[in-house]
Structure 1
Amino acid sequence: AEIPVPASPAREPSRFCTAGRCAYFVERKKRFCKMAPAPGRRFCGEHGQQEEENGRKRIPCPLDPKHTVYEDQLQKHLKKCNSREKPKPVYFVQDINAGLQDVAEIPEKRVPLSSLSKEELENLIIKLKKASNGLEFHLKEQILSHQALQEALNDPKNGESAFKHLKQQASILGNMEKLHLLGPGRCFIEFGAGRGKLSHWVDVALQNVEDVQFLLVERATTRFKVDGKHQRRDSIFERLQVDIQHLCLNKVPILEKKKLPVVGMGKHLCGAATDLALRCLVERYAACCDAQNEEPAPKRSRTDQAEVASNSSADNESSKADCKPVAGIVIALCCHHKCDWTHYVGREFFKSVGLGPVEFHCFQRMSSWATCGMRETTNKASASEASEEQTGDTEEHEQAFSKIESGPDTLQGILTVEERKEIGSLCKRLIDHGRIEYLQQRGYKAVLQYYIESAVSLENVLLTAVPSLLFPSVSGNSKYANQFASVEK
């Protein structure tokens, strides 16, 4: 039943080819292929080129050389190959949210931090502190919860990892409720949705609310079992498989049809993805919607013009407040070391404080110093989790820290661990402040705050933004008076 092969040290782990299995030896894995060949054949379809079959030859697929195809069936295969380029969805617009187009601003060579001299590093830190001087970096805590997650938070079956994610989701929903963003007649867009759990809990919180839409933006193709829980008839869930860089919200059919104001949200939206999402919302979608709503005014007589002159300003402000395309933004920030000058929305702020792409690139990498303890904590937590469900809850940003270069500390003797953490945090806040100014310049009241304890997640800063026209000091709308009074404090 087994075909012996010559014994050798390399093949010692698997010396026999099991009958009914492919006879191809996979050198990299030091074992035979486990695929089943066709009746009467020694090799499976993937390794069929190893034997002659009536003169037919197998060749690597030109679209993906990782698999092979019969040469005489190549044209037929190319039409159905999973690696073929698929038609782009209507909302795909190449690099619409990419940002910087002038490659002249991007430095050709990025110098690693380990190659910097002590003097160069000290000069960078001086620039960092000078640029931060006068800016408010002491964030206030806004750790909230939401009734929708109380049952899950009290469930003893949840492990430590699942409990931490639930606490973060509960606080995000609590902050959204405080800003009056959880309401009817809105489209909730979760950027970097992954499993879509944040949208799931928003749906639970809005179970008695009508006319609510959900768009889950994720470039990966994987879907998770959470999608099966979205059964309510009065809410619609739709996944958009597209990179945020190429997403044009104005062309998404549901938004084109219903014209609902949107609420952008994200739980740990890594690095440049935050900048892409902000530009997608306030620079593309909001601007296009405002432009479409600006219709030429009908002609009036001079007496009519005089009659409505006194009321026009107030009416315009009121209508703008009611019809703002982006009702709010709530994003838990993370992975500043994955930011990119090309996509960064705060470039103008950096330039205003005498910084450029070279300094940004250094600060972006130095920002990882703020969470240098994350790696050890994550490894311990993942080792203690036994169930598949809890292991799957590990966020992408947590896995990224294990990929940060390890080895001898090149900064030993220059900076202590505490100094590195302090400088890393300063880099994060400086990058985030550029995002705040970007939003403020476009008519939004933007705030940074701690939304969860650092023991739950070291990436514990939440960015929230709402249209400035909704503030009582501007629009006189008493509905939001209590809401924004607390934000101002």
Structure 2
Amino acid sequence: MATSPRPPAAAKLPIEGRCIYFVERKNRFCRMVPAAGRRFCGEHASGAGAEEENNRKRIFCPLDPKHTVYEDQLEKHLKKCNSREKPKPVPVSSLSKEQLENLIKKLRKASEGLNCTLKDQIMSHPALHDVLNDPKNGDSAFKHLKQQASILGNIERLNLLGPRRCFVEFGAGRGKLSHWVDIALQEAEKVYFLLVERVTTRFKVDGKHKNGNSVFERLQIDIQHLCLSKIPVLIKEKLPVVGIGKHLCGVATDLALRCLVETYPTKCKERNEEPVAKRIKNDTMDAENDTLVNEGSKKNELEQWSPVAGIVIALCCHHKCDWRHYVGKEFFKTLGLGSVEFNYFQRMSSWATCGMRETILETSKINIKKRDDQTNDNEEHDHEGYRKTDENPEDLPGLLTVEERKNIGRLCKLLIDQGRIQYLQQKGYDASLQYYTDSLVSLENVLLTALPKQSSTPDSTT
């Protein structure tokens, strides 16, 4: 029978209360929690030469042979295994006319009393004056620049554009928004940028910051695994965070909000997960992170300051929201709604752009033919809401007019966003929705902003 691999002499000791099996591939001990009175977790119990439990046999999971399960618990395991086939949501097009009408009645009733007319906060900023007037820009690049200028103007309107802070750009992509914030701040001291992006991207803008005063770091990580209170620079400098994002796709918005207002800074102290600092491209940060986290005085200081100065996020792709991560569950429940209604509403939210679908697709074809990296800067989420999906409104012939579908789609978006606003308010923020650009520039033109209540400004609410 195999035994646990021998750890190198320099290896850290296993964490108390965790499995003592040394994982050679990760060069550390396993972090799973074993059963009471056991030294090894279930996964490593038999293979490690550890104590057997009444001769119980472990077998490979038939759904995913990468993990094992006790043979006598196989039936129970298959019902909750993460590799099991998930039930697919029933598409809206499969509903009967009566079912669809009842669903729309629920939507309209839930939307009663909501402010459906958002305030215009369409702004600009001098940092983008020259580039906005550059005749070399194509239509697509110009539209993106107008949006970035307005987001930047709103950041300044909320008194969030200043020195001694850390801007965390969620869904950063190429990092254009952080780039313009950096340009606007010019010679400001102690300005840090954390660019969060889970996929490998062409970092076209990153090279421009190597010789600047600001510090840029990229974190290639899914937002749901991001724990800001474990980022060394935030622990060390104790800088207030400003969460920003441009067209933050569906579920990513909810994950970002939770990351900012829940897991930073208190929640992460209670969790023993893989340090986020390991994912930053800096070999010295793991050691620095361990040292800082273990210093009691630093932890006390961290608890005494307000960590999040504000949030400015341009919303996008409500049809990609997920009930599991949605922060507005309590809001939905108070309205008598649950996961079933949410799943329909998030799919129906794409109807808000159905009237423009064909026009946008034709424009996309033209742009592809004219693509030029210097002048035409298309972004990932530009046409996400306009693509044909399984909730294509054309699948409901004769039931709803185009205008009715668009209005229903807008209500779905508004209801989902209102749940986010209620969530932020419960967490101690003054939060609001506003239009930050014209619908001719982008159909995804709603900006979510939030400030801690003690520092809110008169024009931060609608």
Flag whether TM exceeds 0.5 (same fold): yes
Q: What is the Cα deviation at residue 266 of structure 1?
A: 0.3
Conserved 8 A contact 1:187-1:215: yes
> What do the CA deviations read for 1:278-335 (whole angstroms, capped 9, x no partner)?
000001104459999xx99xxxxxxxxxxxxxxxxxxxxxx99993100000000010
Q: Which amino acid in the other structure matches residue 225 of structure 2?
A: H
- Paired position in structure 2 for 1:388: 372
> What do the CA deviations read for 1:139-192 (whole angstroms, capped 9, x no partner)?
010000000000000000000000000000000000000000001110000000
Q: What is the Cα deviation at residue 208 of structure 1?
A: 2.1
SS at match of 1:447: strand
User: Hey, what's the Cα distance between the residues in 1 that align with 2:103 and 2:454?
Assistant: 39
Q: What is the Cα deviation at residue 488 of structure 1?
A: 4.0
Q: Which amino acid in the other structure matches residue 395 of structure 1?
A: E
Which of residues 298, 312, 330 in structure 2 aligns to 1:330? 312
- Paired position in structure 2 for 1:182: 161
Distance 1:184 1:289, change over 3 A: farther
> What do the CA deviations read for 1:34-92 (whole angstroms, capped 9, x no partner)?
xxxxxxxxxxxxxxxxxxxxxxxxxxxxxxxxxxxxxxxxxxxxxxxxxxx9969xxxx
User: Hey, what's the Cα distance between the residues in 2 that align with 1:184 and 1:462?
Assistant: 23
Conserved 8 A contact 1:321-1:469: no
SS at match of 1:328: strand
SS at match of 1:143: coil
User: Hey, what's the Cα distance between the residues in 2 that align with 1:289 and 1:326?
Assistant: 15
SS at match of 1:445: strand
Conserved 8 A contact 1:146-1:170: yes
* Structure 2, unpaired ranges of 5+: 1-23, 28-79, 81-85, 271-292
Q: Which amino acid in the other structure matches residue 153 of structure 2?
A: G
Which of residues 195, 200, 223 in structure 1 aligns to 2:202? 223
Conserved 8 A contact 1:335-1:397: no
- Paired position in structure 2 for 1:440: 425
Conserved 8 A contact 1:275-1:345: yes
- Paired position in structure 2 for 1:358: 340
- Paired position in structure 2 for 1:161: 140
Q: Which has the larger Rg?
A: 1
What is the 5 A alignment of 1:257-268? 257-268=236-247
- Paired position in structure 1 for 2:458: 485
Which of residues 425, 430, 447 in structure 1 aligns to 2:410? 425
User: Hey, what's the Cα distance between the residues in 2 that align with 1:209 and 1:445?
Assistant: 27
SS at match of 2:387: helix
> What do the CA deviations read for 1:394-449 (whole angstroms, capped 9, x no partner)?
33351463242487823221110000000000000000000000000000000100
Conserved 8 A contact 1:146-1:173: yes
Residue 401 (structure 1) aligned with residue 380 (structure 2): no
Distance 1:87 1:433, change over 3 A: farther
Q: What is the Cα deviation at residue 138 of structure 1?
A: 1.3
Conserved 8 A contact 2:164-2:239: yes
Q: Which amino acid in the other structure matches residue 189 of structure 1?
A: V
Distance 1:457 1:395, change over 3 A: same
User: Hey, what's the Cα distance between the residues in 2 that align with 1:203 and 1:380?
Assistant: 35
Q: What is the Cα deviation at residue 137 of structure 1?
A: 1.9
- Paired position in structure 2 for 1:464: 449
Q: Which amino acid in the other structure matches residue 234 of structure 1?
A: N
Conserved 8 A contact 2:425-2:431: yes
- The range that moved more, 217-226 or 422-431, is 217-226
SS at match of 1:372: helix
- Paired position in structure 1 for 2:8: none
Residue 449 (structure 1) aligned with residue 434 (structure 2): yes
What is the 5 A alignment of 1:262-411? 262-288=241-267, 323-385=305-367, 386-389=370-373, 390-399=375-384, 401-405=386-390, 409-411=394-396
- Paired position in structure 2 for 1:110: 89
SS at match of 1:181: coil
User: Hey, what's the Cα distance between the residues in 2 that align with 1:87 and 1:154?
Assistant: 52
Q: Which amino acid in the other structure matches residue 128 of structure 1?
A: L
Q: Which amino acid in the other structure matches residue 334 of structure 1?
A: C
Residue 416 (structure 1) aligned with residue 401 (structure 2): yes
Q: Which amino acid in the other structure matches residue 266 of structure 1?
A: G
Q: What is the Cα deviation at residue 198 of structure 1?
A: 0.2
* Structure 1, unpaired ranges of 5+: 1-84, 89-102, 297-318, 472-483
User: Hey, what's the Cα distance between the residues in 1 that align with 2:248 and 2:439?
Assistant: 17
SS at match of 1:267: strand
Distance 1:455 1:321, change over 3 A: farther
Q: Which amino acid in the other structure matches residue 330 of structure 2?
A: E
SS at match of 1:358: helix
Distance 1:221 1:488, change over 3 A: closer
> What do the CA deviations read for 1:329-388 (whole angstroms, capped 9, x no partner)?
000001000000000000000000000000000000000000113432332332333133
User: Hey, what's the Cα distance between the residues in 1 that align with 2:433 and 2:392?
Assistant: 34
- Paired position in structure 2 for 1:126: 105
> What do the CA deviations read for 1:108-160 (whole angstroms, capped 9, x no partner)?
55211111000000000100011111122210100000000000000000000
Conserved 8 A contact 1:250-1:256: yes
- Paired position in structure 1 for 2:43: none
Which of residues 131, 152, 164 in structure 2 aligns to 1:152? 131
SS at match of 1:344: coil
User: Hey, what's the Cα distance between the residues in 2 that align with 1:401 and 1:362?
Assistant: 18
User: TM-score with structure 1 length normalisation?
Assistant: 0.68
User: Hey, what's the Cα distance between the residues in 1 that align with 2:163 and 2:344?
Assistant: 44
Q: Which amino acid in the other structure matches residue 136 of structure 2?
A: K
Distance 1:178 1:204, change over 3 A: same
User: Hey, what's the Cα distance between the residues in 2 that align with 1:463 and 1:321?
Assistant: 26
Identity percentage over the alignment? 66
Conserved 8 A contact 1:161-1:394: no
User: Hey, what's the Cα distance between the residues in 2 that align with 1:87 and 1:178?
Assistant: 47
- The range that moved more, 136-145 or 344-353, is 136-145
Count of matched residue pairs:
354
Conserved 8 A contact 2:166-2:191: yes
Distance 1:408 1:283, change over 3 A: closer
> What do the CA deviations read for 1:248-273 (whole angstroms, capped 9, x no partner)?
11111221221211000000000000
Which of residues 99, 108, 116 in structure 2 aligns to 1:137? 116
User: TM-score with structure 2 length normalisation?
Assistant: 0.72
